[in-house]
């Protein structure tokens, strides 16, 4: 019997979970009512989820999420990692690979903090599995290799064997079947000597895939059948579904028509119960091929149309390509040449989208055997008409594609020019704003300098002269004790006024900044705050002592620190603060932290205040970045990164 040119890709992979254990589900559930809210309950939730995982994905996810929520509540990082490891396996099965990758990267960050090589190895391996399910095989192998190194450091042979089984998937997809078989056989050698039936069944399934892809159908069938026996024994529904599908495929390849259908029927039933859309689609395609062998073309078409509906619903593009090609074969067999060509063109266009390669079109040659010469002549005539239509379609399609490409290139050039022009306008506006800011800041500093000089030289001189006159008068006057005391009090008040005037003048333009540089000026500023007793402040600097910084830039940085510390004094209610300044090749980093009452940082978006506005303007002038972290009752931390080069 002819195969009608159908292609059935069923080399599915069962992800090797890195910590799954077969237990009695009912016994575990009976432990829940008496369990305390601690790390033992986290592990109990994980174990229960693993037992449901083989037959009920959604219930398994419920228990995994409970484990994750409790771990977050307890601050139990190892529990969070366990939750992610198990939960993302189900996300991968359900094609939610973006969510899986995001969670596995979170687990990897936590694992690296724990510094346990075994946990790190698992986290790298699970992240690689996410990339594997996204068909990013090079990235997957890179993460797997890092996982292997960590597991070798931990000396865990079981985990290394499991990882070998996972890695064979990537080598299989890259067409390196010898490596894939070697890794599967390494894993099989270890797990044949264990009681881990789940992993043993998975490894047999994957080894069978590699044998089949390398062309050894007999070895593939043998390990599939062994794996199916194990899956039935432990009632692992997902593994059963995969193995049933693959065995049916081998019988299809060998054209053992009557043997293939029971396997595809059983596979379809499990896939529908488990909610595995890819498994449903491939099973339906297998049944469609069987119907074609039996020349039941309407039945075959019904199967494949149901499969295509699933492909569209779940965006299974790879299966949709295969199913469109199978549909085309069915339509050819039903003499619906026009629809067959249309299905084939859809498959070809979709393949271009998936692969990003050159336009590939496969034309299936259908050989039909009829009882009379008249029907043969009729078919030849139809084929001639089809060829003419194809040539015309190719010419029209080529012309249309050429026009689309030309129009696309023209539009792209136009939009690129528009973007460049808009970018230049934005740059000019930014430069204009920065220039205006620079002018304002320089004017402000010039005015501060003038006022400081006037205060110091003018008012300061006058007050000092008055004090000298008072002291001279004191020696020439005869006063009663009461008048003597009042006179002394006046001189003290005059001293306080002179000191306050000097402090104001110093704040407006500190001499230390002009004479000794930014580091000394900031150190003096913090010292003065400490001396005043209003706030206990610690100053630290790194790389700033001998740094050469432009005067305008130094003044701007000084004002930023001054404004931040003043904000702390006025609003934070803090008893202590830290000012830290770090100078590196990449720029200057300022950190001001306090132990005050904190605040909701969201108010800065709509109620910043003049102080914050001044700070932001100075930071923008230096092309820097401001990051404020604070919570009510937990103090405030302000980080400023400035793009300042020596």
Contact status, residue 35 vs residue 70, Cβ threshold 8 Å: no
Domain count, the chain: 2
- In degrees and rounded to multiples of 5, residue 584 shows phi and psi of -135, 180
pLDDT at 4: 34
Position 179 in a domain:
no
pLDDT beyond 50 at 628: yes
Query: pLDDT digits over 245-259, tens only?
Result: 999 999 998 989 999
Task: Output the pLDDT for position 150.
Answer: 93
Report in angstroms the alpha-carbon separations of 191 from 50, 196, 197: 19, 7, 8
Instruction: Specify the pLDDT at position 403.
Output: 75
* DSSP one-letter code for 494: H
12: pLDDT strictly greater than 50: no
Strand partners, 584: 587
Domain end (from 155, 188, 216): 155
Q: Is 223's pLDDT higher than 80?
A: yes
Confidence class for position 503, pLDDT limits 50, 70, 90: low
- The mean predicted confidence, pLDDT, of the chain is 81
pLDDT band at residue 354, thresholds of 50, 70 and 90? confident
Quick check: is 549 in a domain? Answer: yes
- Residue 172 is assigned to a structural domain of this protein: no
The candidate with the shortest Cα–Cα distance to 551, out of 559, 540, 541, 563, is 559
- Domain containing 577 — which CATH number? 3.30.565.10
Question: Which of these ranges, 74-83, 166-175, 267-276, 412-421, has the smallest mean pLDDT?
Answer: 412-421
- pLDDT tens per residue across span 530-570: 888 888 999 998 888 877 888 778 888 888 888 888 888 88
Statement: residue 368 has pLDDT above 50: no
47 in a domain, yes or no?
yes
Question: What does pTM read for this prediction?
Answer: 0.44
Domain range for 102 is 30-155
CATH code at 96?
1.25.40.10
Question: Distance between CA atoms of 519 and 268, rounded to whole angstroms?
Answer: 74
- Kindly indicate the confidence band of residue 10, based on its pLDDT and cuts at 50, 70 and 90: very low
Coil, strand or helix at 13: coil
Structural domain includes residue 529: yes
Spatial contact of 563 and 615, defined as CB atoms under 8 Å apart: yes
Is 343 a member of any domain? no
Q: Is position 328 within any domain?
A: no
Pair of tokens at residue 392: 């015309």
Residue 414 lies in a domain: no
Listing DSSP states for 272-283 in one string gives: HHHT-HHHHHHH
């Amino acid at each position: 019997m002819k195969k009608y040119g159908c292609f059935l890709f069923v080399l599915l992979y069962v992800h090797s979970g890195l910590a799954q254990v077969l237990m009695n589900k009912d016994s575990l559930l009976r432990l829940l009512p008496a369990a305390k809210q601690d790390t033992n309950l986290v592990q109990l939730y994980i174990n229960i989820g693993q037992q449901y995982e083989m037959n009920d994905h959604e219930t398994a996810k419920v228990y995994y999420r409970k484990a994750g929520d409790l771990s977050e509540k307890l601050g139990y990082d190892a529990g969070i990692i366990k939750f992610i490891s198990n939960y993302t396996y189900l996300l991968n099965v359900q094609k939610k690979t973006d969510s899986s990758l995001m969670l596995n990267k979170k687990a990897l960050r936590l694992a690296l903090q724990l510094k346990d090589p075994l946990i790190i190895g698992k986290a790298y391996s699970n992240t690689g599995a996410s990339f594997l399910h996204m068909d990013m095989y090079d990235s997957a192998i890179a993460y797997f290799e890092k996982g292997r190194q960590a597991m070798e450091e931990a000396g865990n042979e079981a985990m290394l064997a499991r990882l070998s089984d996972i890695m064979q998937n990537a080598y299989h997809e890259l067409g390196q079947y010898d490596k894939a078989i070697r890794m599967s056989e390494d894993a099989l050698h270890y797990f044949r000597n264990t009681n881990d039936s789940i992993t043993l069944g998975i490894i047999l399934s994957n080894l069978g895939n590699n044998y089949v892809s390398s062309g050894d159908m007999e070895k593939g069938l043998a390990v599939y059948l062994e794996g199916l026996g194990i899956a039935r024994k432990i009632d692992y529904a997902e593994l059963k579904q995969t193995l049933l599908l693959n065995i049916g495929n081998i019988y299809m390849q060998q054209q053992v028509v009557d043997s293939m259908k029971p396997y595809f029927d059983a596979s379809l039933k499990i896939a529908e119960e488990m909610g595995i859309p890819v498994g449903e689609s491939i099973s339906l395609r297998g049944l469609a091929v069987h119907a074609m062998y039996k020349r039941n073309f309407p039945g075959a078409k019904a199967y494949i149309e149901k499969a295509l509906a699933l492909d569209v619903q779940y965006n299974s593009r790879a299966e949709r390509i295969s199913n469109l090609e199978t549909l085309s074969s069915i339509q050819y067999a039903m003499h619906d040449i026009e629809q067959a060509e249309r299905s084939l063109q859809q498959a070809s266009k979709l393949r271009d989208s998936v692969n990003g390669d050159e336009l590939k079109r496969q034309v299936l040659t259908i050989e039909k055997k009829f009882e009379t010469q008249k029907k043969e002549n009729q078919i030849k005539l139809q084929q001639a008409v089809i060829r003419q239509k194809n040539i015309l379609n190719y010419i029209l399609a080529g012309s249309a594609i050429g026009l689309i490409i030309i129009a696309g290139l023209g539009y792209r050039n136009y939009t690129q020019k528009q973007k460049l022009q808009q970018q230049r306008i934005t740059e000019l506006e930014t430069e204009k704003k920065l220039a205006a800011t620079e002018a304002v800041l320089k004017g402000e500093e010039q005015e501060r300098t003038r006022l400081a000089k006037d205060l110091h030289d003018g008012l300061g001189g006058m007050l000092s002269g008055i004090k000298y006159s008072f002291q001279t008068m004191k020696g020439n006057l005869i006063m009663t004790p009461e008048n003597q005391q009042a006179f002394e009090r006046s001189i003290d008040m005059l001293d306080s006024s002179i000191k306050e005037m000097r402090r104001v003048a110093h704040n407006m333009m500190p001499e230390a900044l002009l004479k000794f540089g930014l580091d000394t000026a900031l150190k003096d500023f913090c010292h003065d705050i400490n001396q005043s007793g209003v706030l206990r402040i610690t100053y630290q600097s790194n790389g700033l002592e001998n740094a050469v910084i432009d005067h305008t830039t130094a003044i701007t940085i000084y004002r930023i620190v001054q404004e931040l510390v003043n904000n702390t004094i006025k609003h934070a209610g803090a008893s202590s603060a830290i000012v830290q300044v770090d100078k590196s090749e990449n720029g200057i980093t300022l950190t001001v932290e306090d132990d005050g009452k904190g605040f909701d940082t969201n108010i800065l978006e709509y109620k910043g205040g003049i102080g914050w506005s001044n700070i932001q303007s100075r930071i923008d002038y230096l092309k820097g970045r401001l990051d404020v972290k604070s919570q009510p009752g937990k103090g405030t931390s302000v980080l400023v990164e400035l793009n300042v080069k020596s």
